Amino acid sequence: MTTTTLSSASREVRIGFDQPFVIIGERINPTGRKILAEEMKVGDYSRVESDALAQVAAGAQMLDVNAGIPLADEPAILAEAIQRVQAITDVPLSIDSSIVEALEAGLAVYQGKALVNSVTGEDEVLERVLPLVARYNAAVVAISNDETGISEDPNERFAVAKKIVERAADYGIHHSNIVVDPLVMPIGAINTAGVQVMHLVRRLREELEVNTTCGASNVSFGLPNRNGINAAFLTMAMGAGMTSAITSPLHAEVMQAVRGGDVMMGHDPNCANWIKAYREPAPEGAGRGGRGGRTGRRRSA
pLDDT band at 294 (very low <50, low <70, confident <90, very high): very low
d(CA 141, CA 22): 14
Query: Which DSSP letter does residue 270 get?
Result: G
Predicted confidence (pLDDT) at residue 299 exceeds the cutoff of 70: no
Q: Report residue 106: phi and psi, to 5°.
A: -70, -45
Give the separation between CA 215 and CA 192, rounded to whole angstroms. 17
Residue 278 falls inside a structural domain? no
CA distance to 233, 241, 248, 259, per residue, from 265 (Å): 15, 10, 22, 10
How confident is the model at residue 281, as a pLDDT? 83
CATH code, domain carrying 141 = 3.20.20.20
pLDDT in tens, 225-282: 999 999 999 999 999 999 999 999 999 999 999 999 999 999 999 999 999 999 988 7
- Domain annotation covers residue 284: no
pLDDT at 297 over 80: no
* Residues 137/30, Cβ–Cβ less than 8 Å: no
CB–CB of 75/105 below 8 Å?
Answer: yes
Residue 36 CA to residue 266 CA, distance in Å, equals 39
What are the φ and ψ backbone dihedral angles of 205, each rounded to 5 degrees? -70, -45
DSSP state of 129: H
**290 is a domain residue:** no
| 289 lies in some domain | no
Asked if residue 90 lies in contact with residue 8, where contact means CB atoms within 8 angstroms, the answer is yes
Residue 42 confidence (pLDDT): 97
In the predicted model, is pLDDT for residue 301 greater than 70?
A: no
∠22-26-27 over CA atoms, to 5°?
A: 135
Residue 208 pLDDT exceeds 50: yes
The mean per-residue pLDDT over the stretch 197-215 comes to 97
Q: Which residues does 289 contact at the CB level (< 8 Å), separation at least 6?
A: 295
Query: In terms of residue numbers, what domain contains 124?
Result: 3-268
- pLDDT tens-digit readout, 122-164: 999 999 999 999 999 999 999 999 999 999 899 999 999 999 9
Position 283 confidence tier, pLDDT thresholds 50, 70, 90: confident
> Length of the chain in residues, anyone?
301
279 belongs to a structural domain: no
Which amino acid, residue 163?
K
In this predicted model, what pLDDT tens digit does every residue of 29-58 receive, in sequence order? 999 999 999 999 999 999 999 999 999 999
Number of helices followed by number of strands (H, E) in the chain: 10, 10
33 occurs within a structural domain: yes
Handedness of CA 6, 55, 268, 184 (dihedral sign): negative
Select from 120, 127, 140 the least CA-distant residue to 183: 120
- Backbone φ and ψ for 32, nearest 5 degrees, come out as 80, 5
pLDDT of residue 287: 56
Contact between residue 94 and residue 65 where contact means Cβ atoms under 8 Å apart:
yes
Residue 84 CA from chain centroid, whole number: 19
Does residue 276 form part of some domain?
no
Tell me what pLDDT residue 296 has: 44
> Considering its fold, how many domains does the chain have in total?
1
Q: How far apart are CA 28 and CA 85, in angstroms?
A: 10
pLDDT digits (tens, 9 = 90+) for 173-204: 999 999 999 999 999 999 999 999 999 999 99
Strand 244-247 to 211-212 pairing: unpaired
User: Which region among 73-77, 114-118, 146-150, 295-299 has the lowest average model confidence (pLDDT)?
Assistant: 295-299
Assigned domain for 286 exists: no
**DSSP at 220:** G
Closest to 217 in 3D by CA, of 184, 258, 190:
184
pLDDT in tens, 75-111: 999 999 999 999 999 999 999 999 999 999 999 999 9
In degrees, to the nearest 5, what angle opens at C-alpha 63 toward C-alphas 111 and 225? 175
Question: By C-alpha distance, which of 241, 273, 276 is closest to 259?
Answer: 273
